Amino acid sequence: MKSMSLWMTFLVAAGVALAVRASEADQIKSDLVGQCMGGREKCWKFQSTDQIKELAVKEKTEDSQKRVYTVTLQLQAGKGSGKYSAEARIEYTKTAGGWKLKQVGLLSLRKID
């Protein structure tokens, strides 16, 4: 019985951790809308969250004033347009109102179909 209780506690904790990650990814997607990453030769302008087919956090570092994510993305501008795989560095700064997106750096962008 005790091991069953321990197992249930583990499952609940795992579910909460996944929910936090999912909401963190959703927040990042929302924050990216209106942002550009890249330069003249390779760039992506985020026009809606629908363009971001997948977003996974690879790495996250944080201190009291800065939060930095390295993420992988699957992008598609619209139906019938090409699909892209990207990696980006997303930096937030701490403000009086909370965390604010400071910059989006493109690490890689390639067409996958």
pTM, entire model: 0.77
CA 14 vs CA 46, 54, 56, 97: distances in Å: 31, 21, 17, 29
More confidently predicted of 67 and 8: 67
CA–CA dist 62, 65 (Å, integer): 8
More confidently predicted of 24 and 113: 24
pLDDT of residue 68: 97
pLDDT of residue 81: 84
- Over residues 66-106, the pLDDT tens digits come to 999 999 999 998 888 889 999 999 999 999 999 999 999 99
CATH number belonging to the domain at 2-111, selected among 1.10.10, 2.60.120, 3.10.450, 3.30.450? 3.10.450
Q: How many CB atoms are closer than 10 A to CB 100?
A: 12
- Over residues 26-61, the pLDDT tens digits come to 999 999 999 999 887 788 999 999 999 999 999 999
Contact criterion met (CB below 8 Å) for 106 and 43: yes
